[in-house]
Copies of this chain bind each other. A is one copy, B any other.
Amino acid sequence: MSKEKFVYFFGGGKTDGKADMREILGGKGANLAEMANMGIPGPPGFTITTNVCKIYYDNNKKYPDEVREQVKEQLEKLEQLQGKKLGDPSDPLLVSIRSGAADSMPGMMDTVLNLGLNDEAVEGLIKKTRNERFVWDAYRRFIQMFGDVAMGVHKEDFDKAFESVKKARGIKDDADMNVEDFKKVVKLFKEVYKKQVKKDFPQDPMVQLWAAIDAVFNSWNNDRAIKYRALNNIKGLLGTAVNVQAMVFGNYGETSGTGVCFSRDPSTGENYFYGEYLMNAQGEDVVAGIRTPQTLKFLEKQNPKIYAELVSYRDKLEKHFKNMQDIEFTIEQGILYILQTRNAKRTGPAAVRCAVEMVEEGLIDKETAIKRVTPEQLDQLLHPMIDPKLRKTLKPAAKGLNASPGAACGQVVFTADEAEKWVKDGKKVLLVRRETSPNDIGGMAVAQGILTSTGGMTSHAAVVARGMGTPCVAGCKDLVISGKAATIKDKKIKEGDFITIDGSTGEVFISKIELAKPKFDSRLTKFLSWADEISHNAVRKNAPKGFLVRTNADQPNDAKAAREFGAQGIGLCRTEHMFFDAGKLELFQEMIIANDIDARKAALKKLLPLQQKDFEGIFKSMDGLPVTIRLLDPPLHEFVPQSPEDIKAFAKKAGIAPDKLKAKIDSLHELNPMLGHRGCRLGITYPEIYDMQVEAIMKAACSQAKKKVKVCPEIMIPLIGTYQELKILKENAEKVVEAVFKTTKTEIPYLIGTMIEIPRACITADEIAPHADFYSFGTNDLTQMTFGYSRDDAGTFLPFYVETEVLEKDPFQAIDQTGVGVLMKMAVDKGKQIKPNLKLGICGEHGGEASSIEFCYRIGLDYVSCSPYRVPLARLAAAQAVLKNR
């Protein structure tokens, strides 16, 4: 066995490691080594490998002798390189001890700075720096950090001692403390240390060093770190590495300084060198905002040589890492050190711009560009937003569910009718309701945003708002509405007050806030065309070529918008949404209250041409693309008036006794309408309804086909639970289709399929497949039934479940792959086993969520369908799914 290398040196032309050694050097160690290899000047040092961490734990927290030897060896190398020695009374070397695992775990493990200071070294450092106050301050900081991190001394006791010195001198601000004060603090800190550790503060730098190394390794398994790894699903690591690095100081004096810079603008993505710095300061001073930092422009003037050097490193680093860099630098006595570089965090617009421009610059390829932008970042581009800079100064009054993204601001109204009235008067309104119902559609359509106090991510308000692209915060528990007034905690809200909601975060602000508008520019168009290249050409074993994004759209204008957003067809057109128009609703109600089949048919006959016209509009706007149309799904009672006044008015218009009408409406009442007489159950018991709908669809399709529109209707039968239902309804539909072909003398291709949304349909998908041309997963209902959660009622416990981690995620937001996903996979497998060319898609809300899109890709669906405003996001997520599973 050759001798294992436990300690890797970096800096000064003698670097042992490199970037691809993350696993044993950790992310930070590998990056430091890489920078050193590139000739970027950073403080030198060495990395103790992650394997030592493992050995440390395996070996009852002891190190093999070789580790101690190698550390000693490398430390000597470091001292030689720096020309300084640990603890040297004339010119001491100071080092930092930092953790760094292969996966980033920011802030979870421990760090010790300024190590190497002791009573003698302090004197040496003062000689070198001629800055007594800085040195004593550094010493007291070291004692405090070392005591806390390495020895477990209670931090509060240090704080108390520190405050006592300030109090004795009547000082409030640390900046007013002088050298004597800090000397006193050091004395007191040593006493605190001794009292708790039962030993003197160690003067031997080697004792300090090993205690700090121990501390970092120990912190690998502190509660915080364990929990972080569990939460972020970080598994299979050996442990953390330990980085020992020479300290440099930006506060050495007027020729020293420190700063942070970005290789491009992280807000906009624009390609110019952006950054801030402060002379004679420490890193935290730049961040803390006590002094106002200078821009790099100023550095260019003040110290063109240093600036030019920094620019050269920025160029080098960005080219090397092929990504926008966030670089920390320190100037110590006129010498520039790069302390750290990492990929920069950026806004959505910056992410897209940067990705596209880097491809154009030839820095990265298109696939890399696609991987660089998260779906959430993309989403920021598609909705109005509160300016992120302004945001920091605002405190939300309450938080609800981020039900439909984007920010909205308007005057509060409490009913849909009022919303329509106010908007007619030229006002912008925000509709505030306990929950919404189909009767509120008119008001919802004109509102800037919607805020509800109950209901979850798939409540009526949430679903409709997402469909309309209207921002919505749902289930805001702190909102209590009574009549035309509401309160949030103690704040009162009355009609006409301005409020602002952020549907991307769920935040609610009781004030008027200016919003930034979204833009769908040519850069984004280009970016998404690259995404489509990837997803449209995806090749999988278990599915035909390509993975597409369709949209859920019920109206021609929605369909048009979605097509502009890049939808490759309609995955779900809900016919019932068409009934809510004034003229149609009355006819549909007439049908519902009909006492016999003849009266029902008469009403349906009047409805037919109106539905046909709707479908014609949709087919026209989707010329050449498939359109999946779902037959009537909701229970009938959703369409009839409920309040005594409405019933009275309706009875009068319809010419029936109010009592009789009420009895009829009551008979439609259900205890659990979600599990009641709806979907295909209506189609079976009232076949004339589906017959009319199929006739309207096919007449519309044929009339458009005659006008040279390419129509691809896919008739979808909802809520199938047994193959018999589908068999009967398919046969009924085919009869109607044949009749339409005959009368119109036109034949067009069409499909008949079903929504898979009942658990039993998944289980018996092999029985159903012979009768279906396609399956489209209705994951909203499937999730409701698989979990036994009503999405309208789950607000009472589901948020609590997510908060307390009973559930990892809200299953109405992301597909529950462990439960619902198993049923979906079963349905896919059983369906394909019988019919290998079965067309498969998803039209539940999950079709617009990234992790769900990836799951759909993995199990072999042909497409996902989502609301128009989610289409761009879904296109990106689809491409990423393809890349991730290649």
Residues of A that sit less than 8 Å from B by CB: 670-677, 681, 684-685, 719, 721-722, 724-725, 728, 757-760, 763-764, 767, 781, 784-790, 792-794, 796-797, 800-801, 804-807, 816, 818-820, 822-823
Contact = CB atoms under 8 A, between A and B. Distances in A.
A818 B764 contact: yes
A671 B790 contact: yes
Contact of A760 (B673, B781, B800, B820): B820
Nearest to A672: B790
A64 B495 CA distance: 94
Contact of A801 (B684, B719, B764): B684
A823 B763 contact: yes
B722 A797 contact: no
Contact of A672 (B792, B806, B818, B823): B792
A675 B677 contact: no
A594 to B, nearest CB: 16
A675 B672 contact: yes
Task: Name which of A721, A805, A807, A823 has the most chain B CB atoms within 10 A of its CB.
Answer: A721
A455 to B, nearest CB: 10
A207 to B, nearest CB: 44
| 4 shortest interchain CB distances as A-B pairs | A675-B790, A672-B790, A760-B819, A676-B793
Contacts of A801: 684
Contacts of A806: 684, 722, 724-725, 728
Contacts of A792: 670-672
A822 B762 CA distance: 11
A670 B675 CA distance: 14
Number of copies of this kind of chain in the complex: 2
A764 B724 CA distance: 29
A787 B763 contact: no
18 contacts: A670-B792, A672-B674, A672-B675, A672-B793, A674-B788, A675-B789, A676-B790, A676-B796, A684-B801, A685-B797, A721-B819, A728-B806, A758-B786, A759-B759, A759-B786, A759-B787, A759-B788, A760-B786
A400 to B, nearest CB: 17
A788 to B, nearest CB: 4
A724 B672 CA distance: 27
Nearest to A674: B672
A480 to B, nearest CB: 10
Given A722-B807, A806-B684, A806-B724, A796 B760 contact: no
A592 to B, nearest CB: 13
Given A763-B819, A807-B724, A788 B781 contact: yes
A674 B676 contact: no
Contacts of A804: 684
Contacts of A677: 793, 796-797
Nearest to A720: B788
Nearest to A675: B790
Given A722-B806, A760-B816, A760-B819, 8 more contacts: A675-B793, A676-B793, A684-B800, A684-B801, A722-B807, A722-B819, A724-B806, A758-B788
Contact of A788 (B675, B728, B787, B819): B675
Contact of A675 (B674, B681, B722, B763): B674
B793 A684 contact: no
A795 to B, nearest CB: 9
Nearest to A781: B788
Contacts of A676: 790, 793-794, 796
Contacts of A671: 673-674, 790, 792-793
A490 to B, nearest CB: 17
Contacts of A763: 786, 818-819, 822-823
Contacts of A793: 670-673, 675-677
A671 B458 CA distance: 14
Contacts of A807: 722, 724
A670 B787 CA distance: 17
A822 B764 CA distance: 9
Contacts of A790: 670-676
Contacts of A674: 671-672, 674-675, 788, 790
Contacts of A764: 818-819
A394 B790 CA distance: 47
A758 B781 contact: no
Contacts of A794: 675-676
A525 B666 CA distance: 49
B673 A823 contact: no
A426 to B, nearest CB: 36
A742 to B, nearest CB: 28
A417 B705 CA distance: 66
Contacts of A672: 672-675, 790, 792-793
A837 B631 CA distance: 48
A755 B469 CA distance: 42
Contacts of A784: 675
A787 B721 contact: yes
Task: Name which of A673, A674, A807 has the most chain B CB atoms within 10 A of its CB.
Answer: A674
A757 to B, nearest CB: 8
A681 B725 CA distance: 34
A675 to B, nearest CB: 4
Nearest to A480: B663
Contacts of A788: 674-675, 719, 721, 757-760, 781, 785
A801 B677 CA distance: 12
A78 to B, nearest CB: 49
A382 to B, nearest CB: 31
Contacts of A785: 675, 759, 785-786, 788
Contacts of A797: 677, 681, 684-685
Task: Name which of A722, A724, A788, A800 has the most chain B CB atoms within 10 A of its CB.
Answer: A788
Nearest to A725: B806
Nearest to A670: B793
A588 B807 CA distance: 29
A644 to B, nearest CB: 15
A805 B685 contact: no
Nearest to A666: B434
A504 B719 CA distance: 33
